[in-house]
Structure formats: C-alpha cells, structure tokens
Amino acid sequence: MATDKPVNLLDLDRKAMEAYFVSLGAKPFHGRNVLKWIHKHGVTDFEDMTDLSKKLRASLSACAEIRLPKIVLEQPSADGTVKWVMELADGQRIETVYIPDGNRSTVCVSSQVGCALDCSFCSTAQQGFNRNLTVGEIIGQVWHATRQMGKAPSNVVMMGMGEPLANFDPVVSAMDLMQDDLTYMLSKYRVTISTSGIVPNLYRLREVSDVSLAVSLHAPDNELRDQLVPINRKYPLEELIPACREFIKNDKRRKITWEYVMLDGVNDSIAHARALIRLLEGTPSKMNLIPFNPFPGTDYTSSPPERIEVFRQKLMKAGIMAILRKTRGDDIDAACGQLVGKVQDRSRRSLVSLRRRQPQELVS
C-alpha cells in the first residue's frame, strides 16, 4: 500500500501500529514485533527485522519509514548531565536533557518547539512558539537517550520545552509508548507530565492516561501567579487546585508535585510560605523548591540559600514535604527553565536562535 508520503512508524503507539499493519494485509502481531524492534532493540532498518517476511519488509520499505530527530550537538556537564540539541525534519531544534543519579537516570523531554505560555522566569518562554511536536519527535528523544546511554531511562519527565497539555494527543500517545511492555517499560510512577495548569486538559488526561503529575505553581495567590504564570488568568487557582486533587483521587500513593521557582524578593517570604500552606491544605503534596536559573535579559535573581531553607522548613513543619531541587547542568544551560533550542517564532515573526553559550556553527 504505497502512499505519496511515507508513514513514520515512530508516530504510532501499539494500537495504531497494529491497525497500520492490518491495513497492509498483515497481522496485528507483526505491528507488535516492529514496535519491539524499533524501541526495545533500536533497529531502524526494515531489512534487519528478521522475523518479518521479505514481502512485508518490501511493503514497509515502499510505504513507511522510521524518521528520528537528528542529534546535532551533545553537551556534557561537569556534574554528569548531558544535553542534546536535536534537529527536526523542518530545521527546527529542540533540547533534551539526560540527568544521571547513581544507578537511576531521568530524561527531560520537550513537547513543543518553543512555548506560547510566556512564563516570565523561563528562558524557553522568551523564545516564542512555532509548533507542536509529533509523537515521533517526542518519543524519538527517549529513543536517542536510550541508545546514547545504553539502556532505557529510569524516569521520563515531560518538563522540557513547551507545555505538554497544549499538545495533548501526541503527548498522551508518546507517554503510552514509554509505558508499553514492548518498549521502555516505565511504570505510571516513572512518567511525569508537567503543566502550568490547562485545567480542562487535566480532567481529560485523568480519563485517558495514568501518569504522575507535576504542576508549575510558583506563587500562592492569583495576583502574583497572574504575573509569573499568565495562564493563571484563564485558569485561576480556584479551578487548578480542585482539578489537581481530582487527578490523584483514589490513589493513596500519589502526591501532586508542585514546582516552585525561588525568586529573590518576589515569592520567597514567610508570608508566601504561609499562603502556600493554606492553599494546599488537604492536598497530598510534594514541593520542589527550585533555585532560579538565570538567563540573558532576565531581571530575576535566585533567593539566597538561607532564605530558601527558612521557606522550606516552614513548609515541612506544616506537613508539606519540601525538597530543594539540586541544580543540574547549569554550566551547559540545561537546568530548569533554561532550555531554548532554535525557534522560528510564528507569533512574532522573528528568528530566535540558541543563546550565546552555544557554538556558532549551530545557528548558521
């Protein structure tokens, strides 16, 4: 079944892969076999898929492909973190980060080229927005990380470039692939989606996907959060907090992970901590306190370590688990809020390239 444009098999989760092979006149189990070849074994040449017939391999060569993002830069950090810049078929570039932690590892995956939500403390948001990533472009980041590191990651976090819930269907399909027994075999507690709070899609997500949830909170009240996280103007805390509670309902193991970047003199006072405690009362919570990672042009600075610790202790005494997130990869601009890539911003019609720390040839 030849088509003008080859089908990228990387875009297909198990259900879609089975359906595609049935459309070729093959059996669903052939689709499952190919899924395993691609993701578990890292095979991208149909001729190497030896349990497929020659006829089926020829059909695949005529109408399908396995098209991955291309790694154009690898940057290792002094702390073991690795950042990959990946180029997509249209020339856009995204960033993916690998974070080792003893015998465990985490891959931070992007979901969009740029981001449209314009959070004021995030470098990615300052680059503008071009488009959503496809399933293949999302899962391709995990594919590359697995091949580069020699094994599948222990955890995947959808915390790279973009707002995952603004790219709903491809993100859900990619997370399904991450959890599939034929691919990366990650449990629901090992795949985390991070959102700034698109409330209707939080309710949708609960119905179709079983993953862990992290929420970019960053402020304890609407007035401040409107400034830091503009999506709050559309979906204020009175709507966001109940949606988050509903997401973990009936699962006693689950907590909401709240991301809270510590901004000097902005959201780091004891009064802010007290307001957070009131806001989260009755919600099973874990608070990640994140020292602000600077980027060119920002007016923000990170809260002093001693103030962060006072803030953390206040939350802990109120029964909220609060963890100071260790900054990883900041020497290669791979820390939280620093991912940029190369974005042709469709909203501002201006080319925004990788920042000054990137080699010149990358933006040529």
Hey, what are 364's tokens? 């040529």
- The answer to whether 304 and 264 are in contact (CB under 8 A) is yes
Q: Can you read off the two tokens belonging to residue 287?
A: 């608070």
Q: Cα–chain-centroid distance for residue 162?
A: 8
Q: What does the block give as tokens for 130?
A: 């071009």
How far is the C-alpha of 195 from the C-alpha of 181, rounded, in Å? 26
Is 239 in the active site?
no
What's the Cα-to-Cα distance from 126 to each of 75, 83, 162, 214, 337, rounded to whole Å? Answer: 22, 20, 11, 22, 10
CB 10 within 8 A of CB 68: yes
Phi (first) and psi of residue 302, to 5 degrees: -75, 145
Point out the catalytic residue in the list 119, 122, 244, 336. Answer: 336
Whether residue 185 contacts residue 179, with contact meaning beta carbons closer than 8 Å, is answered with: yes
Q: Is 74 a catalytic residue?
A: no
Q: How far, in Å, CA of 276 to CA of 316, rounded?
A: 12
Pair 137, 4: CB distance under 8 Å: no
Tell the residue number behind the tokens 């109940």, with chain if given.
Answer: 242
Q: How far apart are CA 123 and CA 115, in angstroms?
A: 10
Identify the active-site residue in 18, 95, 163, 259.
95
Supply the residues annotated as catalytic.
95, 336
